[in-house]
Structure 1
Amino acid sequence: MDEKILSAHGLNLEEYKRIVELIGREPNEAELGIFGALWSEHCSYKSSKPFLKVFPTEAPWVLQGPGENAGVVEIDDKYAVAFKVESHNHPSYIEPFHGAATGVGGIIRDILSMGARPVCAFDSLRFGDPRNDGKRKNIKDAKPIAQGVVKGIGFYGNCIGVPTIGGETVFDEVYAGNPLVNAFCLGILEKDKMFRARATKIGQKMVMVGSATGRDGIHGATMASAEFSEETEDKRPNVQIGDPFFGKRLIECTLEVMQKGLIEGCQDFGAAGLAGSTSEFGSKSGMGVRVYLENVPLREEGMTPYEILLSESQERMLYAVDEDKVEEVIKIAKSYGLEAAEVGETTDTKRMEVFYKGEKIVDLPISAIVDDAPVYNRPRKEPQYLKETKSFNQNQLPEVDLKEAIKKVLSSPTIAKKDWIYRQYDQEVGINTVVKPGSDAAILRIKWAVKPEINSEKAVAVSSDGNGRWVYLNPYEGGKRVVAEAVRNVYVSGAKPLAITDCLN
């Protein structure tokens, strides 16, 4: 196999050999695309799994830990909150507005897929120092990236009706070539009505609802796992384009079919598109899936099976539906102006079989796609920079004029007021925001009028924290202090800390 082709799919030669061994033959183009997407760092966590496994994930109030689209914790006898944070870093460097906007859209759908009403968002942002703009070689200026990201977050959140009620922003030169754009969303639900990304029986239909499928976002997962170079602009077509008005309709449609008991499981379309959502459905259900690509609603002519499978077009969901309820689900989706089609079914084969106009173009064991990605224990040692950084003698540091030091600190973009950011966000849509941006933590009432009707006497406090400098100087102690800071911000607001979601990038 040509290594350039493998590289385009984010795979190396050893991984390709492993694929051939797992499936007993060489994969075709579509199958290679599936492996490239699902085995990417973005989807498989092949370098971070050994570390993520050590986190404590269980408590009496935890209803759902890692492994689903979001974590869920109960807040009283009747209600729960679902929440998650994830990054959209690389797309936001390439195309700041759309990269950030679709990051917000994606995290909202993760919360929605759990059966929760998305009620608030947070952002955690890192950019290069704008005072160095125009001085870097082959690296974009930080100021337009920051402006585009903030505008994209505001656009999507404001239009879809989910308030952005807090966050944090840091400017440091270390982020100049790789900004961090982390989006958080929290939703509320009745705790006995939680949904998961799985079917409940063989022969259940998979119904695709939302936007039509286009060519945007193909190779998005592998691009998100790659490093950038001077050819970054060539990756612009890999960035997805979002439509928050379509997203709002998708929220209301999904909550309606859930409330009426018409669907059994739900999975959003994220990284790897249809290939990712259907294979995850099969894996978590312990079943196989059969997919019919000619049934997928398209918005572009001449799309190939490869493109249909791996498109990361936004605002799409996959439902598991009993056969006798498919017609009603599609009717409801159409009433919201959404595309809807039956695109497949679950089987007892534990294989992913994909057909296009009668021809089988993919036939793979689901375990090979989802469970058998390599896990790397990368070699690690204390970095040289750390030894050099710690080698200074504090007594030999030059004296600093206190007034000048204070002026320098206060003039830093990181310390300066951030209201230019959060003024662009609707903080009160839904009228449940109690404490808005600018405090230690944001506070939100747990109430909603319809789909679902929720009327709790409780409120939820949320804080987002991170300190790259602490972690740079001492990763272990820095990590501890970041958790401690977030916990303090929550309890000084009068709340009891219940759980943490992290986005390590």
Structure 2
Amino acid sequence: MESSVQVDPGTDTVAIAAASPDRPQPYVELGMNDEEYQRVRHILGRRPTSAELAIYSVMWSEHCSYKSSKVHLRQFGDKAPKTDKLLVGMGENAGVVDIGQGWAVTFKVESHNHPSYVEPYQGAATGVGGIVRDIMSMGARPIAVMDSLRFGPADAPDTQRVLPGVVAGVGGYGNSLGLPNIGGETVFDACYEGNPLVNALCVGVMKHEDIKRAVAPGPGNKVILFGALTGPDGIGGASVLASATFDEESHQKRPSVQVGDPFMEKLLIECCLELFREDLVVGIQDLGAAGVSCATTELAAAGTGGMHVDLDAVPLRDATLRPEEILMSESQERMMAVVSPDKVDRFMEICRRWEIPATVIGQVTDTRRLVMTWRGETIVDIPPVTAADEGPVYERPLEPPKDLGALQSDTPGRLTRPSNGDELRRTVLWLAGSPNLASKTWVTSQYDRYVLGNTVLAMPENAGVVRIDDESGLGISLSLDGNGRYARLDPYSGAQLALSEAYRNVAATGARPLAVTNCLNFGSPEDPGVMWQFARAVEGLADACQYLGIPVTGGNVSFYNQTGTTPINPTPVIGVLGVHDDVRRRVNMALTSDGATIALLGETREEFGGSEWAHVVYGHLGGLPPLVDLKAEAALASVMVTAIREGLLTAVHDLSDGGLSQTLVESCLRGGLGARITLPGDPFVTLFSESVARAMVAVRPGGEARLAALCESAGVPVTQIGVAGGDSLNVTGRGPEGDQQELFSIPLAELREANERMLPSYAN
């Protein structure tokens, strides 16, 4: 041990007992710069002990303190729309919203990108475990998970190493917990080669009165660590692994990846829920990033302000761990609770029944100091608020990437378009079988989507839908979306387009969009171009949420996503939560009603910047992304929700990547029913444009007039484009000479073969 703190009981001064007071401290290796280290010395009025340095290094890391993003994230609060539905907002482990009938829902998405590159299975698995504990710590029962995954090219050797492990980790952990995986996305792009993105979402449910907070009030209350034992896995994971870029040394960072035990977490879930039912905790925090350091400092800072902890009492899996390693360990499946002394015995009794190790490691004080002892010596004596809430805040330099102007000027207009029916047919099949648009059944078949029996809709539907109340049918809808190509071309619009798609997906099931969570994946904040992208994306998302009237409840920032000096495309991943008054009235995307009228809602413009067509056929990225139209999105959502509630529609599918072409492919294959389509206008534009605020609907016979009236009232263009039926996708439209003709016909069997062959061929 390098040094300990000795407090003279007769004074307020702190003296240092150090064997080697001049020995350099490894603050740089712990992710701190010179200024940050000197600030710690100024706060303490002395040289920090090695244990104190460990606490400040992880708590002031980019991952834990948001030191580069905080100045921008404030917009989510400053621009938050006024709503009485938000029960708990940003700053807690997860946001909580009121969904009616006394029910509340908490949801959040977080990243586990770097660990999933280093050790794909455990990185992804513990990403799921960590976000589930965030939901547990709010007092909720977790009811479903989702994931947003991004990899390099599907045929790249690194993708073939990472992809199977990540998918197995997500499925292995979630399936073992008995939580359905109800949706998400799997995307391939060269920019993610060497730096995959693994974003995990969890949603939980509770009654309003059951909400818990991460606070430690009441001097004399006991601090209890319960769950798995503390080991060496994950030490420094938050401060080092998540705040560094990847290079050829990355595989040496395997010790920084946590190891999960989903069966322990399942017991921990049930144990926590019983503790909550008996009202045995006054504050609770999960142990994720920064472990004991984070839990103790945040609980103390948010409560009475003081805490005394005996590190000798922490149950260890490895007795050789030093105190700073105990503080930095990110061993999984651990929670920390604050319990009044008269309830400790009952707390311990419940933990024993669930076979959950639990130990009193300290108590709450009113000293406004976090004091920790180890083997009879005081090794930590700090104001906890300085570690938890007063870390450095940087206003990093901002400037657009130097190549942005050239990128936006390189429009897809110079690319050769299909000019006849055969070429259009070939393009439909190319897109249907391309990595990003092909069936993801190989992925989703490894996830249990229907465990617990409350899943109403799951992948590949527009959004996941879960029943909350059996009697009334009250339920929720969730979608998780992002598009890094759009954000690369225009980060402000790119963030709004990600929100628009998730908003549209939720409404397409019949749910009213209510709240937003986000995971903002970017390169190094020390790069002015990356920080400009980040600032613009945050501004775009905040502005759009304000316009649509749906608050951001919380989320995550993941920086340093790059290989060497090359960052990933800026990738804001947006989750939208919606409410179903009755899930029995939901609609899916499958064409199943022979003879049903197929209509296109919304306006189609010639928009191909960042499109799947340009990406798949030419490998091109350039121009501007589709025009954002939030007014049109809100109007379309209102029409879809009302029409579904009135029973006018038998199928709804939003238009996004791949345009109308891909929407038709997916709806036909999902329902096993073909369609006869007549395209208005330019066939290429109508099929492949990615204009937003559009959806394809199948109308119940007799509902056409009422749908037209709803659309007229909301100002939503509606165009009848065909009927459902047959076993082929038949498309008629304007030919090269301007006359109407059958452009192409594709049997569903051929479409299915093209759509389903891609991923298994690369992943196995």
Which of residues 221, 225, 229 in structure 2 aligns to 1:204?
221
Distance 1:427 1:234 in 2: 35
Structure 1 residue 143 displacement after superposition: 1.8
Task: Report if the CA contact (8 A) 2:52-2:380 is conserved.
Answer: yes
Structure 1 residue 308 displacement after superposition: 1.3
Which of residues 439, 444, 448 in structure 1 aligns to 2:466?
444
Would you say 1:422 and 2:440 are equivalent positions? no
Distance 1:2 1:91 in 2: 32
Which of residues 359, 365, 374 in structure 2 aligns to 1:341?
359
Task: Report if the CA contact (8 A) 2:218-2:304 is conserved.
Answer: no
What is the RMSD of the two structures over their aligned residues, measured on CA atoms? 1.7
| Alpha-carbon spacing, 1:466–1:396, altered in 2? closer, same or farther (3 Å) | closer
Name whichever of 300-309 and 386-395 sits farther off.
386-395
Would you say 1:50 and 2:50 are equivalent positions? no
Which of residues 456, 460, 467 in structure 1 aligns to 2:483?
467
Aligned-partner SS, 1:289: strand
The code of the aligned residue for 1:41 comes to E
| Alpha-carbon spacing, 1:230–1:463, altered in 2? closer, same or farther (3 Å) | same
Task: Report if the CA contact (8 A) 1:122-1:183 is conserved.
Answer: yes
The code of the aligned residue for 2:372 comes to V
Task: Report if the CA contact (8 A) 2:235-2:256 is conserved.
Answer: yes
Would you say 1:294 and 2:309 are equivalent positions? no
Structure 1 residue 24 displacement after superposition: 1.2
Would you say 1:107 and 2:124 are equivalent positions? no
The code of the aligned residue for 1:319 comes to A
The code of the aligned residue for 1:436 comes to A
Distance 2:24 2:515 in 1: 43
Would you say 1:14 and 2:32 are equivalent positions? no
Matching of residues 126-205 of structure 1 within 5 Å: 126-133=150-157, 141-205=158-222
Would you say 1:218 and 2:218 are equivalent positions? no
Distance 1:432 1:93 in 2: 33
Aligned-partner SS, 1:291: strand
| Alpha-carbon spacing, 1:320–1:456, altered in 2? closer, same or farther (3 Å) | farther
Distance 1:97 1:386 in 2: 36
Aligned residues with identical type, % of pairs:
48
2:92 matched residue in structure 1? 68
Structure 1 residue 100 displacement after superposition: 0.4
Which of residues 314, 319, 341 in structure 1 aligns to 2:332?
314
Task: Report if the CA contact (8 A) 1:41-1:47 is conserved.
Answer: yes
Task: Report if the CA contact (8 A) 1:104-1:183 is conserved.
Answer: yes
Distance 1:263 1:468 in 2: 42
Name whichever of 115-124 and 361-370 sits farther off.
361-370
Aligned-partner SS, 2:284: strand
| Alpha-carbon spacing, 1:212–1:41, altered in 2? closer, same or farther (3 Å) | same
Task: Report if the CA contact (8 A) 1:127-1:176 is conserved.
Answer: yes
The code of the aligned residue for 1:107 comes to I
Which of residues 251, 259, 282 in structure 2 aligns to 1:233?
251
Distance 1:249 1:170 in 2: 33
Q: Deviations over 1:254-284 (max 9, x none)?
A: 1101101111111000111111101110111
Distance 1:352 1:74 in 2: 35
Distance 1:256 1:399 in 2: 62
Distance 1:110 1:438 in 2: 26
Distance 1:144 1:485 in 2: 30
1:80 matched residue in structure 2? 104
Q: Deviations over 1:329-361 (max 9, x none)?
A: 112111111111001111111111111122101
Aligned-partner SS, 1:6: coil
Distance 2:130 2:411 in 1: 48
2:53 matched residue in structure 1? 32
Task: Report if the CA contact (8 A) 2:146-2:182 is conserved.
Answer: yes
The code of the aligned residue for 1:332 comes to I
Aligned-partner SS, 2:387: helix
Structure 1 residue 28 displacement after superposition: 1.6
| Alpha-carbon spacing, 1:407–1:494, altered in 2? closer, same or farther (3 Å) | closer
Task: Report if the CA contact (8 A) 1:70-1:114 is conserved.
Answer: yes
Q: Which has the higher contact order (CA 8 A, sep 6+)?
A: 1
Aligned length: 492
1:391 matched residue in structure 2? 409
2:7 matched residue in structure 1? none
The code of the aligned residue for 2:170 comes to I
The code of the aligned residue for 1:171 comes to F
Name whichever of 360-369 and 62-71 sits farther off.
360-369
Aligned-partner SS, 1:380: coil
Q: Deviations over 1:392-427 (max 9, x none)?
A: 365544566656544543342111110111110011
Would you say 1:458 and 2:474 are equivalent positions? yes
| Alpha-carbon spacing, 1:295–1:3, altered in 2? closer, same or farther (3 Å) | closer
1:328 matched residue in structure 2? 346
Aligned-partner SS, 2:382: strand
1:432 matched residue in structure 2? 454
1:271 matched residue in structure 2? 289
Structure 1 residue 14 displacement after superposition: 1.3
Would you say 1:486 and 2:502 are equivalent positions? yes
| Alpha-carbon spacing, 1:481–1:352, altered in 2? closer, same or farther (3 Å) | same
Task: Report if the CA contact (8 A) 2:227-2:358 is conserved.
Answer: yes
| Alpha-carbon spacing, 1:394–1:62, altered in 2? closer, same or farther (3 Å) | closer
Q: Deviations over 1:420-458 (max 9, x none)?
A: 11110011111000112111111100048xxxxxx6531
Greater Rg over alpha carbons, structure = 2
Aligned-partner SS, 1:203: coil
2:740 matched residue in structure 1? none
Task: Report if the CA contact (8 A) 2:135-2:202 is conserved.
Answer: yes
Aligned-partner SS, 1:308: helix
| Alpha-carbon spacing, 1:441–1:24, altered in 2? closer, same or farther (3 Å) | same
Q: Which runs of 5+ in 1 are unaligned?
A: 134-140, 449-454
Q: Deviations over 1:293-327 (max 9, x none)?
A: 11111111211111111111100111110011112
Task: Report if the CA contact (8 A) 1:427-1:433 is conserved.
Answer: yes
Distance 2:30 2:371 in 1: 21
The code of the aligned residue for 1:441 comes to A
Task: Report if the CA contact (8 A) 1:3-1:12 is conserved.
Answer: no
Q: Which runs of 5+ in 2 are unaligned?
A: 1-21, 522-764
| Alpha-carbon spacing, 1:207–1:496, altered in 2? closer, same or farther (3 Å) | same
Distance 2:413 2:71 in 1: 41
Aligned-partner SS, 2:438: coil
Distance 1:271 1:395 in 2: 47
Distance 1:211 1:447 in 2: 33
